[in-house]
Structure 1
């Protein structure tokens, strides 16, 4: 319950503080007021004037604001410091500690009515819940923050919207994640609310679901627009996140060397900012880049580093997702048994509501391992399970590849007509990725002339891997 400024609240505070200090009503009132006035005030039958409150506050040894609102002196400053410490704990990967600190900030801010701190504490709790894989809890925190910011300009709500979208993305709800991000981007641009930080945050967040849905052209456009906005951004962590997201589009285009450069930029910024969780995700993506380039030994090292960092931070869901990538590298290095055991244990912990795309990836890999082991029926079961997960998530790009694998298996086992049907389904996803589930692309932001249309970042001679 928020402490207020009503006569009952103020009267109770005056009475409590007077008794704590051993003062009579007459002693407190002198010399400007009477004991009867103090008695009436303490009973809540009169609203004191500013002059009366200042007199009483001086006699009681508290500040005017503390007596008027019930907030302890310097509370706002203390809460801001506590928020900074909580963010530092989250950046260092101490998710549980950070969550406790954000919760304490929220409780104190709510109790004392410090409305400016409550949304920030809820956003912090939402980020902690994302890291620990508590997706429903994360959505609730982000939604609560957005409600508190409902009357604020849209740029102030961008972080809450992005948080909700990421929670839906991790839950396998790709289309809804895109809808949330695109709607906010359109509203920002249409309303002339050109805020580089807010737009950069939203465009960078949209790249992931675009890629998972197979909408590669739209992902590349979002990356291009985000790069154009980067010079005007004030938060270096946002710029680091941009470079990490852009790497996904470069990987999809086969530009692995350039993707590694983009990730190196992100990694350098994360190290400078001491953002351990984001740094772990850079190792994750660099492992994927090395795997795409065929350097499996380096890929395994990077993925193991990412897994260990995320596991130490109790980032459970992200740890599981890295392990799917690691299992793929292990399989490609000829360690099928090790990969299969890792994937089988993972499927007990991820699924339709927690990392659907990666759960499908685990089934796909188990299908490949089963085929290599001469178990076509088991392989088919895994491919079908993967298809079901990807269809629910709307991950069109992965669906096309999986249809090819299943079609080949059906053809080899003599079910040609069924194989043709599966191939046709895959061709449908490959022909127009994303267009069956996404509406028109968001309007472009008003960026500086000449900043659009430039190529995504490329390696220069003095940039080392």
Structure 2
């Protein structure tokens, strides 16, 4: 510890504590040491042994740790316990309350120079900000947490790095999010740092960006690797989150039963852990499974349950994502007016600067609803807005589909040349590799 190694700091602390207790140097020294030794120690001219400091701490009535570091005895342990309580608060969906706990703990950790506690608090604040949709604040917290772990091995930095990548992903910056995650994977594998929890966290986190970029094969490979790593992870909440992410790739491959089984495992884990927000996400993904399988009534029930749970916990960005999927189900069930109202609420809540992909999805669906109502002008306006958002995000698969919708609309209204341009644009996105920034797919770790 830095303070323990500095005789001047310890000497001043001994002098201050001795004076506060009204002791003379002789009284403090007896019976094992001399007043001259105490005088030399207080002047910072001698590095006291552990034995001498334990004697002096006993005479002063303070703990050895407090004498050598200036921190109250047991502070680090107490801080760790309260950080765990804040993590629990966040896990049950109370992001606002958790943020208050983390902010107070961060201030205390920084005041006492407890760098490890400060890093954990910064991670927690970043996760709270992700839950409430404050993506720029989240990114800054995660960057600070990374800097706090700058000298630590990569596995210790992975949670902060993953958080930063998720913040960029939710802001619509898909390629940069994938770049961060793939870079970490490459470094872990190249350096032989095969930490199961770190690898599982990255593979589970990269599935969403891969899917939104149209890189389905990469998403499937990441899912397979995550499933292989899961039995080696010591974090049940992390395993549960992985099962939820993997379900999405199974759906893309048409493996409905396996996706449903994966979600069932995640839901049971979250029920056991009472992680309300993540359990809401399980209802969300189960609703997605039902919707893909044509069971629209069941899908509506699951998505409404997820929306209620997330809304109650003020998870703004996740609430908006679920609302878009619920609106799609409502539209398919003939409840287009309710769907449109839900989507307009989404657009007023998130905006294009955060949640670009979900704003685009809302505009796309509003365009379809308008087209069904034969309001082609409004439909085209929504499609164009969605196209602009998706181009900025680089979501290749969604862009191709949207260009097809726009092209069909333009063709039906007699604008053949404009329709051909839209089709060509869509084909360009579909035939692009759908690849990510680094080229080859992530390397498989030794299992």
Give TM-score, length-normalised by structure 1.
Answer: 0.90
Q: Which residue of 2 aligns with 1:120?
A: 120
Q: Indicate if the aligned counterparts of 1:175 and 1:438 stay in contact, CA closer than 8 A.
A: no
Offset at 1:45? 6.3
User: Distance between the aligned counterparts of 1:295 and 1:12, measured in 2?
Assistant: 73
Q: Indicate if the aligned counterparts of 2:133 and 2:316 stay in contact, CA closer than 8 A.
A: yes
Q: Indicate if the aligned counterparts of 1:4 and 1:70 stay in contact, CA closer than 8 A.
A: no
Offset at 1:18? 2.9
Please, which moves more after superposition, 378-387 or 14-23? 14-23
User: Distance between the aligned counterparts of 2:427 and 2:437, measured in 1?
Assistant: 16
Where 2:116 maps in the other structure, the secondary structure is coil
Q: Does 1:111 align with 2:111?
A: yes
Residues 220-264 of structure 1 show CA distances to partners (whole Å, capped at 9, x for unaligned) of: 111112222222222222221221111111222233333222111
1:302-451 correspondence to structure 2 within 5 Å: 302-435=302-435, 439-447=439-447
Offset at 1:160? 1.4
Residues 270-327 of structure 1 show CA distances to partners (whole Å, capped at 9, x for unaligned) of: 1122222111111111111112222222111111111111122221111111111111
Offset at 1:118? 2.4
Q: Which residue of 2 aligns with 1:463?
A: none
- Greater share of residues in helix: 2
User: Distance between the aligned counterparts of 1:137 and 1:8, measured in 2?
Assistant: 40
Q: Which residue of 1 aligns with 2:240?
A: 240
Q: Indicate if the aligned counterparts of 1:57 and 1:64 stay in contact, CA closer than 8 A.
A: yes
Q: Indicate if the aligned counterparts of 2:267 and 2:282 stay in contact, CA closer than 8 A.
A: yes
Give TM-score, length-normalised by structure 2.
Answer: 0.94
Q: Indicate if the aligned counterparts of 2:175 and 2:436 stay in contact, CA closer than 8 A.
A: no
Q: Indicate if the aligned counterparts of 1:28 and 1:56 stay in contact, CA closer than 8 A.
A: yes
User: Distance between the aligned counterparts of 1:437 and 1:55, measured in 2?
Assistant: 61
Please, which moves more after superposition, 75-84 or 173-182? 75-84
Where 1:116 maps in the other structure, the secondary structure is helix
Unaligned runs of 5+ in 1: 448-465
1:111-190 correspondence to structure 2 within 5 Å: 111-190=111-190
Q: Which residue of 1 aligns with 2:191?
A: 191
Please, which moves more after superposition, 228-237 or 18-27? 18-27
Q: Indicate if the aligned counterparts of 2:182 and 2:438 stay in contact, CA closer than 8 A.
A: no
Please, which moves more after superposition, 322-331 or 358-367? 322-331
Offset at 1:162? 1.1
Q: Which residue of 2 aligns with 1:459?
A: none
Q: Which residue of 1 aligns with 2:6?
A: 6
1:70-81 correspondence to structure 2 within 5 Å: 70-81=70-81
Q: Aligned-residue CA RMSD in angstroms?
A: 2.1
User: Distance between the aligned counterparts of 1:391 and 1:83, measured in 2?
Assistant: 41
Offset at 1:169? 0.5
Unaligned runs of 5+ in 2: none
Where 1:180 maps in the other structure, the secondary structure is helix
